[in-house]
Amino acid sequence: MHDLDRILRECFWDTNFSGDDIINAAGGRDVRRKAQVFEKVLLNSSHMLRDLELFPADELRALIQDYQLPQFNYEHAFRRKNLAEVYYLNGELKIPELQWKS
């Protein structure tokens, strides 16, 4: 079960979202709203990998692949997206300090 109170506090403090709004957006058909919720969780959640499981697996893959890194806060967004790519898409780890040295 997801800790919706924590997600609301960490990710949606600046909106009028409720726990039901998050669940409905993550599982709903409104692509824009789903992308908005995805970005908030991706960039702000302290338990990002677990919280991204709010989204159906096939849609989560598409959300990660389609996410465009913003100019503002680029480095933070890059690192968070790359962690999601590694975990969910078996992508390449591109964060130098997290790579194994041989």
Confidence band for 1, pLDDT divided at 50, 70 and 90: low
Q: What is the pTM of this model?
A: 0.91
Instruction: Please report, rounded to a whole number, the percentage of residues in the chain having pLDDT higher than 70.
Output: 98
Residue 101 clears pLDDT 90, i.e. is over it: no
Averaged over 1-13, what is the pLDDT?
A: 91
Averaged over 71-81, what is the pLDDT?
A: 96
Give the CA-trace dihedral at 87, 92, 97, 99, to 10 degrees: 90
Q: What is the pLDDT of residue 102?
A: 66
- Pinpoint the alpha helices (H) of 1-102: 4-11, 19-27, 31-44, 48-51, 57-66, 74-89
What does pLDDT average to over the chain?
Answer: 94
